[in-house]
Amino acid sequence: MKKKFRFKLESVEKVRRSKEQESLRLLATAQARYQQAVQFKVDLLRQTEESLIRRERMGESLERAVNFQLENDFIFGQKQRVHQADQFILRAKKNVEKQLKEYLFSRQQMRVIEQLRENAFVEFKKELQKKETKDLEDLYVMRARHMKESA
């Protein structure tokens, strides 16, 4: 009858595995927010460029001063929004770095448990091999005794 391998730290392994998966999920969320912030800034810059082109074209035709002033105000507001987007991108980047550190730490903790599991399994195999060898030796000794008694 063979014993099955049972890892003593299985519950710790499950907890660390779930922490690793959770930190990976949080990292993915942080990266998605960072990408959204970058895309938002790209859109703001595109809108600003379009507005600058519109303002330049206003000089070619006779436009009212109010339209020109509205376009200037829009450009000024876009510049402020771009600055705010830069700040948000910086915060999002820091969050990505933080989440990456947490994921790498949890991954390292998981590797430790995996290594412990591998070492325990190797030890289990050695013990099993020793037990099988001992059982075979006992069987040979019993056969030898039985052969002596029979002869």
pLDDT for the residue 24: 96
Q: Give the pLDDT of residue 151.
A: 64
Q: What is the reported pLDDT for 141?
A: 85
pLDDT at 32: 97
Q: Which structural domains are found in the chain, ordered by start?
A: 10-113 (1.10.287.1700)
- Overall average pLDDT of the 117-143 stretch: 90
- pLDDT value at 66 more than 90: no
Question: Where does the pLDDT of residue 149 fall: very low under 50, low under 70, confident under 90, or very high at 90 and above?
Answer: confident
pLDDT tens readout for residues 5-56: 888 888 999 999 999 999 999 999 999 999 999 999 999 999 999 999 988 8
Residue 99 pLDDT > 90, yes or no? yes
Separation of alpha carbons 131 and 117, rounded Å? 21
Q: What is the DSSP string of 61-91?
A: S---HHHHHHHHHHHHHHHHHHHHHHHHHHH
Report pTM: 0.74
pLDDT at 76 (0 to 100): 95
Within 10 A of 127 (CB to CB), how many other CB atoms are there?
A: 11
Element (H, E) at 6: none
Give pLDDT, residue 1. 55
